[in-house]
Amino acid sequence: VSAARRVIVGASGSPGSLRALRHAEDLARHSVATLIPVLAWTPPGGDLAARRQTCPTLVHIWHDAAWQRLWAALDAAWGEIPADMLVEPVVQRGLPGQILVEVACHPDDLLVVGAGRRGVLARMWHSRVSRYCLAHAQCPVVAVPPAILAQHAGRGLHGWPFRRRALSVEAFLHHGGSVTA
C-alpha cells in the first residue's frame, strides 16, 4: 500500500465540488501526486436527443463550453492553478459517475467527490454521483461533506425566504463549526 500517485477530483462547479477541489489540492500536495480535475458533460436535452440528429459543430461548441465551465470551477476553487503540483484537467462526454470511475481506473489512484446535499428529499435527486463512485470505484474514494454554512442556508424548500433566519453562534457551533475569538 503506497500513497496515491494521482488524485482525481470531480469538478462540476457546484458548491460541493469546489470544496472537494480544495480538499483534493491538499491531498495531492502532501502525497506529491498529480491532480486531475474531471468534468463530464452530456448534450443539452440528453444523449438520446443528440443521437437523433448529430451535429459536429454543436458537439464542438458543447465541448468548448464544458472546458469553460471547468476553468471557471478551478478559478472559483483556487483563484489560480497551484504552481507546486502537476494539474491535468480532463473533460469528457458522458455521465459524471461513469466518467470519474473510468478515469480513476488504477488502484493507486484516489478519487475525491463532493458528498452531495443532505436531507430526506435532497438525497432522492442529489449525491447520485458520489453514491455511484462509492459503489463502483476500484480505488479509495474520498467523500467531502458540504460546508456547514451551506447546510444551514439550505436550498429548495428550505431556502424559501420566509424560512431564512440569521445564523447565530449557537446554531453554528451546533452544526459542528468552530469559532476563534
Partner 1 sequence: MSWIVVGVDGSPSSQVALGWAMTEAGLRRVPLAVLTVIPAAVEASGVTGQMSPLDESFSDERRTEVQRATQDIVDKAVAERAGQPEVTVTVRAVAGLVADELIQASGDADLLVVAARGAGGFARLIMGSVSTQVAHHARCPVVVIPAGWGS
Site string for partner 1, 60-99 (x = CB under 8 A): ----------------------------------------
Give the burial string for 73-103 (b: 16+ CB within 10 Å, else e): bbeebeeeeeeeeebebebbeebbbebbbeb
| Binding status of residue 141 toward partner 1 by CB under 8 A | yes
Q: How many positions of this chain bind partner 1 (CB under 8 A)?
A: 26
CB of 155 to partner 1, least distance (A): 17
The interaxial angle of helices 15-30 and 56-78, nearest 10 deg, is: 70
Among 5, 69, 131, 158, binds partner 1 (CB under 8 A): 131
x-or-dash string of contact with partner 1, 34-63, rule CB under 8 A? ------------------------------
Is residue 12 near partner 1 by the rule CB under 8 A?
no
- Strand, coil or helix: what is 66? helix
C-beta of 29 vs 63, nearer to partner 1: 29
**Contact flag: residue 15 with partner 1 (CB under 8 A):** no
Copy the grid coordinates of residue 133: 463512485
Q: Does 13 participate in binding partner 1 (rule CB under 8 A)?
A: no
Shortest spacing between CB 78 and partner 1, in angstroms: 18
Characterize 137-175 residue by residue with b for buried, 16 or more Cβ atoms within 10 angstroms of its Cβ, and e for exposed: bebebbbbbbebeeeeebeeeeeeeeeeeeeeeeeeeee
Q: How far apart are CA 116 and CA 126, in angstroms?
A: 6
140 near partner 1, rule: CB under 8 A:
yes
